[in-house]
Chain A
Amino acid sequence: MVVNCEHVWKEISNYLDDDMDAATRAAMEAHFKECKHCMAVLSGTRNVVELYGDDRLFELPAGFSRRLQRRLAQPITSRFGSSRTFWTLAVAAMALMVGSFSLANSSVFRHPNVRSKLAQPAHEIPPSLMVAVSSEGRVFHVPGCKYLHKREGESPELMTASNAIKEGYVPCARCLRQYLSAEVECPRSRHGNELAQSTAEPVAPGPGF
């Protein structure tokens, strides 16, 4: 087996670590006898390994051991006060996160799930349409709708559809049926758009008047 210089350079580290088969080792040794350059590389690399392997090279900073002993003498839990405090805080934080998550997902903060076509939000209703509401229900109607429930003697309150929606009223599925659509992609954003429009548009009597 014959090796060239490049092969020697590639294997020189393994040679120094005696991590190669006997045939390659013998071939390299034969090469070193012939090649001054590779011999120089070998002796230099061996010197590097020997110099850096000497314990005297990297000195510990003065006082290192003393400072280390002082550090090790600190209570293990000192970084967090005490382990009990740490775990109490950790559990409280976890509970807070879980609570926040549950609340954020609760029906209070979510748009209500619609159950039927007629229960769709009033996204098609002109914002300026005047509608009537009563103190008894959560539904708004075209004024005069026979399904408007009110207390005896009470007069229905009139407001624009946009305000009724803003106050949480939902449209009457009978008198406002024509405005209800089942195809709602993003009810909340549509509401927002309508309400934005309603502030820009002058209030005018709607077709129900």
Chain B
Amino acid sequence: MGGMPERIQVGSADSADLREQDLLRRVQAGEKQYFYDLVKPYERRVYTAAFAILRNEADAEDAAQEAMFKALTHIQQFRAEARFSTWLTQIAVNEALMRRRRAHSEIMEPIGERQDEEGNYTPRDFADWREIPSEVLERKEIRQKLTDAVAALAQKYREVFVLRDVQHLSIEETAEALGISRASVKTRLLRARLMLRDLLAPGLNGTWFGRVPFMKGNKPW
């Protein structure tokens, strides 16, 4: 890659799609120096997708970087029928899944993995949360609790939840990225949301405990 690329100016916030298409055309035409500009808006998304699967910062970063590099290598294979962000996320998910298989980290899958997906899930906590002020996310320990909770979910629920609710992919995009049916995405998403609600209710409903309940062996399911 050459020296510093000429920065492409954005006309307005609404032109993000046009900008992306322009960058994409340039990169596919061989101007690889624009690739980082193309993927920059999705850095966090790609990293989070990898983190949802690998549950480890260093591994997630490696996988995310490798996914981006693979995307660059295979940029000619991208077709405009899909959204670029979905394509990128799919590569990250595949890369992370491959690494997870290699590391045999399935052994560490604890919560909810054996649950019957077809059966109904019954919430166990009926305390009213009320509204949680978004300022709580300014607190690092709260962010950590939320990260821990999602990391404690079984793989199949965690990956659906992260793609759908953290990365805001649609049901279809999530299904496509994970290679599962739309119905499975919806079932797993429901369970993931309800499990997280149960896990976090004791803390977000009042005071946070020193540790989230499932870490004390008190598994609700």
Contact = CB atoms under 8 A, between A and B. Distances in A.
B47 A67 contact: no
A76 B48 CA distance: 24
Given A17-B171, A49-B193, 9 more contacts: A13-B186, A41-B126, A43-B128, A43-B129, A43-B130, A47-B131, A52-B196, A53-B166, A67-B65
A68 B193 contact: no
What are the 8 A-B residue pairs with the smallest beta carbon separation, nearest first?
A13-B190, A44-B197, A37-B126, A40-B128, A44-B129, A71-B65, A58-B48, A47-B132
**Residue among A52, A71, A72, A76 having the largest count of chain B Cβ atoms under 10 Å:** A52
Contact of A9 (B48, B57, B121, B132): B121
B204 interface: yes
A89 interface: no
A40 B129 contact: yes
B20 interface: no
Interface in B120-146: 120-123, 125-132, 134, 136-138, 143, 146
**Residue among B44, B120, B171 having the largest count of chain A Cβ atoms under 10 Å:** B44
A41 B40 contact: no
B29 to A, nearest CB: 16
Interface in A11-46: 12-14, 16-17, 19, 36-37, 39-41, 43-45
A52 B166 contact: yes
A51 B143 CA distance: 9
A201 interface: no
A53 B168 contact: yes
B186 A57 contact: no
A39 B203 CA distance: 18
Chain A interface size, under 10 / 10 to 19 / 20 to 34 / 35 or more: 35 or more
Contact of B143 (A13, A56, A64): A56
A142 to B, nearest CB: 66
Contacts of A13: 186, 189-190, 193-194
Given A12-B190, A69-B36, A64 B47 contact: yes
B176 interface: no
Contacts of B121: 9
B218 to A, nearest CB: 18
25 contacts: A6-B120, A9-B123, A9-B194, A13-B186, A13-B194, A36-B126, A41-B123, A41-B194, A44-B125, A44-B129, A44-B201, A44-B204, A50-B132, A50-B134, A54-B134, A58-B44, A59-B143, A60-B43, A60-B47, A64-B64, A65-B40, A65-B43, A71-B65, A72-B35, A72-B68
A73 B1 CA distance: 6
Contacts of B146: 51-52, 57
Contacts of B189: 13
A207 interface: no
A19 B171 contact: yes
A31 to B, nearest CB: 14
Contacts of B57: 61
A69 B64 CA distance: 12
Interface in A56-88: 56-61, 64-65, 67-69, 71-74, 76
Nearest to A77: B73
B120 A45 contact: no
A10 interface: yes
A48 interface: yes
A122 to B, nearest CB: 54
A71 B126 contact: no
Interface in B172-204: 186, 189-190, 193-194, 196-197, 200-201, 204
A67 B61 contact: yes
Given A13-B190, A40-B126, A68-B36, A57 B43 contact: no
Contact of B165 (A12, A19, A49, A68): A49
B204 to A, nearest CB: 7
Contact of A47 (B40, B126, B129, B166): B129
